[in-house]
């Protein structure tokens, strides 16, 4: 409990130290009298005496306990002073009034602070007073501590390079011991990938550390594809995470992905081996790789520098992307960081034994000619590696794994099944939305097709109809023609008949005899003639 409170206070001070406040009174966590304030004010170590008013603007790189004490002291002093001043003013010496005056001081400070802070971005709204969301980081802090942290570290390297020793030295715990031997002790016939989980606690922070090691790496005569089981392992973890993330019923997803891979380079002094290059080339886009020069107490400083340069050259030559420690915004911090960053790749020495040097107990390796201290920056880069890896960038390693490597994997995995087997350009929509869009596209396509077909259809129908009509009119015309011709003929005939009739009548009238009579007579005559036809004829002839 007290630890937590201490953490809390450290937390709040961390932010307070960033303020350019005058007199040490700060607006980040102002004292609101009525509400139970956070443990900070109550847990102030009683020993904090009104010492010098320094410390408020101390370098916040890593709030060392001494700085905290000073700042706390300053705050206490300042608040006491404020209270005293208030007491001096106040006519009504009621406690409430005091508290209110205190608030007034605070308010004044805050107002002036806000005045000073009037270089805000144009978009940012200015606050006229205390709101309180500056406490948000504290809330996040509390929740994070409660949740606990986890981290998965992979160590890869040939047997005998001191991997287990280094891990033990880094975490100051017997992760590898006689009961749990290190990878070099466990080499089997084929390359294995094995994990061990340990729970470490420090100052109230719980860290579940998973160490992944690869016994047998580079051990065989033919080491082709010895990286394959490792790649498979990394991708299996990604796949597990992806599946867990994609479930319908999601519980808290356990993060077992590999966050960092320490690759151990043998201290040959000459450069990278082909196996090193192959491995890093294949894994640099799947996991954060931090190359480490192992057993560097066999290299003199010059050889070490030369070796490092060589390695960096080869790395850039082969376009290997090792993990880059990012810069922080804070200037002082980044200065410190830069010094450490320049030591990449870290040349480390590890040790499980503690030796006494100048009365101090240090971890080191005892040689006849001296003692190589592990935690001495002049002897090796162990401190640099530990600080960069654990104290400053552990969270960043996790973030990069989550945001970059995992997303890449996910992209590859999902895009692979989105399109029909062809690795085409990855459309930046989620697959379901894509399906919806495809449906819509298809519908419009179908509509278009439909209208097109309709058009063609109509056109053809019209054509055919037109043709039919034409032939109809044509036939009609011809028929008309023929009809007219016929009618003309009929008319002609009529006329002719009329003429004939007229002629006949005229003749009949003029001769007073009708054709009928003549016909009758001829018939009679014919009948007589049939009796003596010749005579008649002769008779007729005789007359004339």
- Kindly tell me which of 366 and 391 has the beta carbon lying closer to other proteins: 391
**Cα–Cα distances in angstroms (integers) from residue 512 to residues 58, 399, 506, 509, 520, in the given order:** 163, 141, 9, 5, 15
- Kindly tell me which of 277 and 414 has the beta carbon lying closer to other proteins: 414
For residue 205, the surrounding DSSP H or E stretch is strand 205-213
- Kindly tell me which of 125 and 319 has the beta carbon lying closer to other proteins: 125
- Kindly tell me which of 87 and 435 has the beta carbon lying closer to other proteins: 435
- What is the closest distance, in whole angstroms, from the C-beta atom of residue 296 to other proteins in the complex? 21
- Kindly tell me which of 236 and 316 has the beta carbon lying closer to other proteins: 236
- Kindly tell me which of 399 and 532 has the beta carbon lying closer to other proteins: 399
- Kindly tell me which of 320 and 337 has the beta carbon lying closer to other proteins: 337
Residue 473 CA to residue 145 CA, distance in Å, equals 97
- What is the closest distance, in whole angstroms, from the C-beta atom of residue 295 to other proteins in the complex? 22
**Cα–Cα distances in angstroms (integers) from residue 469 to residues 283, 463, 476, 481, in the given order:** 79, 10, 10, 18
- What is the closest distance, in whole angstroms, from the C-beta atom of residue 464 to other proteins in the complex? 5
- What is the closest distance, in whole angstroms, from the C-beta atom of residue 396 to other proteins in the complex? 7
Q: If we measure between CA atoms, which residue out of 344, 267, 280 comes closest to residue 309? A: 344
Q: Which two tokens stand for residue 87?
A: 């007491």
- What is the closest distance, in whole angstroms, from the C-beta atom of residue 315 to other proteins in the complex? 26
Q: What is the DSSP letter of 161?
A: S
* Side-by-side strand order, sheet with 346-347: 205-213, 149-156, 260-265, 289-293, 346-347
Is 148 within 8 Å of 206 (Cβ atoms)? yes
- Kindly tell me which of 302 and 420 has the beta carbon lying closer to other proteins: 420
Is 127 within 8 Å of 115 (Cβ atoms)? no
Residue 40 CA to residue 26 CA, distance in Å, equals 13
Neighbours of 170 (CB within 10 A): 20
- What is the closest distance, in whole angstroms, from the C-beta atom of residue 509 to other proteins in the complex? 13
Q: Are strands 289-293 and 205-213 parallel, antiparallel or unpaired?
A: unpaired
Residue with the two structure tokens 């989105």: 418
- What is the closest distance, in whole angstroms, from the C-beta atom of residue 370 to other proteins in the complex? 23
- What is the closest distance, in whole angstroms, from the C-beta atom of residue 353 to other proteins in the complex? 12
Residue 323 CA to residue 239 CA, distance in Å, equals 22
- What is the closest distance, in whole angstroms, from the C-beta atom of residue 35 to other proteins in the complex? 5
Is 194 within 8 Å of 212 (Cβ atoms)? yes
Neighbours of 467 (CB within 10 A): 10
**Cis amide linkage into residue 345, ω under 30° from 0:** yes
Residue 269 CA to residue 320 CA, distance in Å, equals 20
- Kindly tell me which of 62 and 84 has the beta carbon lying closer to other proteins: 62
């Amino acid at each position: 409990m007290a630890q937590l409170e201490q953490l809390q206070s450290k937390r709040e001070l961390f932010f307070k130290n960033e303020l350019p406040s005058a007199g040490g009174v700060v607006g980040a966590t102002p004292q609101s009298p009525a509400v139970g304030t956070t443990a900070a004010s109550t847990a102030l170590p009683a020993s904090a005496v009104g010492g010098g008013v320094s410390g408020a603007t101390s370098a916040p790189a890593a709030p060392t306990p001494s700085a905290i004490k000073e700042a706390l002291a300053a705050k206490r002093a300042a608040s006491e002073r404020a209270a005293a001043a208030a007491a001096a003013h106040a006519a009504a010496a009621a406690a409430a009034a005091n508290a209110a005056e205190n608030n007034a001081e605070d308010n004044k400070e805050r107002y002036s602070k806000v005045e000073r802070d009037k270089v805000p971005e144009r978009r940012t709204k200015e606050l006229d007073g205390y709101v309180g969301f500056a406490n948000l980081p504290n809330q996040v802090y509390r929740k994070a501590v409660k949740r606990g942290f986890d981290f998965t570290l992979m160590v890869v390297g040939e047997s005998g390079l001191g991997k287990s020793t280094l891990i033990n030295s880094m975490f100051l715990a017997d992760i590898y011991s006689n009961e749990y031997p290190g990878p070099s002790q466990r080499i089997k016939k084929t390359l294995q990938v094995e994990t061990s989980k340990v729970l470490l606690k420090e100052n109230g922070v719980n860290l579940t550390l998973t160490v992944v090691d690869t016994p047998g790496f580079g051990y065989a005569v033919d080491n082709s594809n010895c990286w394959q089981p490792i790649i498979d392992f990394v991708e299996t973890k990604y796949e597990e995470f992806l599946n867990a993330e994609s479930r319908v019923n999601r519980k808290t997803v356990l993060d077992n992905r590999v966050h960092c891979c320490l690759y151990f380079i043998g201290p040959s002094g000459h450069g990278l081996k082909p196996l090193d290059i192959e491995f890093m080339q294949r894994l640099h886009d799947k996991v954060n790789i931090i190359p480490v020069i192992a057993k560097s107490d066999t290299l003199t400083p010059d050889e070490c520098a030369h070796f490092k340069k060589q390695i960096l050259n080869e790395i850039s030559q082969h376009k290997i992307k090792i993990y880059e420690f990012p810069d922080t915004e804070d200037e002082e911090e980044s200065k410190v960081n830069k010094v450490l960053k320049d030591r990449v790749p870290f040349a480390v020495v590890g040790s499980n034994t503690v030796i006494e040097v100048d009365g101090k107990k240090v971890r080191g390796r005892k040689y006849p000619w001296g003692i190589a201290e592990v935690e001495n920056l002049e002897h090796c880069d162990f401190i640099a590696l530990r600080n960069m890896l654990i104290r400053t960038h552990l969270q960043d390693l996790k973030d990069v794994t989550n945001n970059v490597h995992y997303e890449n994997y996910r992209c590859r995995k999902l895009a692979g099944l989105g399109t029909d087997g062809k690795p085409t350009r990855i459309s930046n929509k989620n697959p379901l939305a894509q399906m919806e869009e495809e449906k819509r596209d298809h519908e419009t396509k179908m509509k278009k097709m439909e209208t097109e077909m309709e058009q063609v259809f109509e056109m053809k129908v019209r054509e055919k109809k037109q043709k039919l009509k034409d032939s109809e009119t044509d036939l009609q015309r011809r028929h008309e023609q023929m009809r007219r011709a016929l009618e003309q003929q009929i008319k002609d005939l009529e006329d002719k008949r009329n003429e004939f009739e007229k002629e006949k009548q005229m003749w009949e009238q003029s001769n007073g005899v009708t054709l009928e009579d003549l016909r009758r007579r001829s018939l009679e005559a014919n009948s007589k003639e049939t009796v003596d036809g010749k005579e008649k004829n002769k008779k007729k002839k005789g007359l004339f």
